[in-house]
A = this chain, B = another copy of it.
Amino acid sequence: MGRWEPNARGRLEQAALELYVERGYEQTPVAEITKRAGLTERTFFRHFADKREVLFGGSGRLEELCAGAVAAAPAAATPMEAAVAALDAAAGVFEERGDLVRLRQSVIDANAELRERELIKLASLSGALADALRDRGVPDLTARLTAEAAIAVLKVAFGCWIHGPGKRTLRQLVGECVDALGAAVAGEPA
């Protein structure tokens, strides 16, 4: 037993999500979060760069997971196939924690600042994917475009998964979006 309760960071994350759900992000001062977590405001900002970041603690691990999936794809896989392997890995993580993901997303969708933060996390993920593709010897332009296309698929598939009727799994939706993107880019008429 230490001088303080353990897992301060985790307590802050949980208290923040709870309060953002209960009152909304904007109506929740950081002081409220730290009060619920039994800590001080100063400590919050030692663990998280800002009030938004507390919702995005897992983004680093997600990047690593996706980059690992690209690296682990068969040598014969095309760049797009390797990127889709990363999306499948990410989809698995989301589906495991479906309820938490939906709760978190409802908070993000309700606030513009949080949507901004989500977009920069996706952009960072796109960069990580592009790096991993380059490590496979994919040329720079192809790597960047493939990564951006993969993120586009993830955005759209994730949106369908969250807001749609919920009959299909996220992995299935990713597959459908990849096909639909292929058809659209190949110039199929509407």
A residues bordering B, Cβ < 8 Å? 76, 78-81, 112, 115-117, 119-120, 123, 133, 136-139, 141-142, 144-146, 148-149, 151-153, 155-156, 159-160, 176-177, 180-190
Contacts and interface: CB of A to CB of B under 8 A. Distances in A.
Contacts of A80: 184-185, 187
A123 B181 CA distance: 17
Contacts of A176: 141
A177 B181 CA distance: 15
Copy total for this chain: 2
A145 B190 contact: no
A190 B156 contact: no
12 contacts: A76-B189, A78-B184, A78-B187, A78-B189, A79-B190, A115-B120, A116-B117, A136-B190, A142-B184, A144-B159, A149-B152, A185-B186
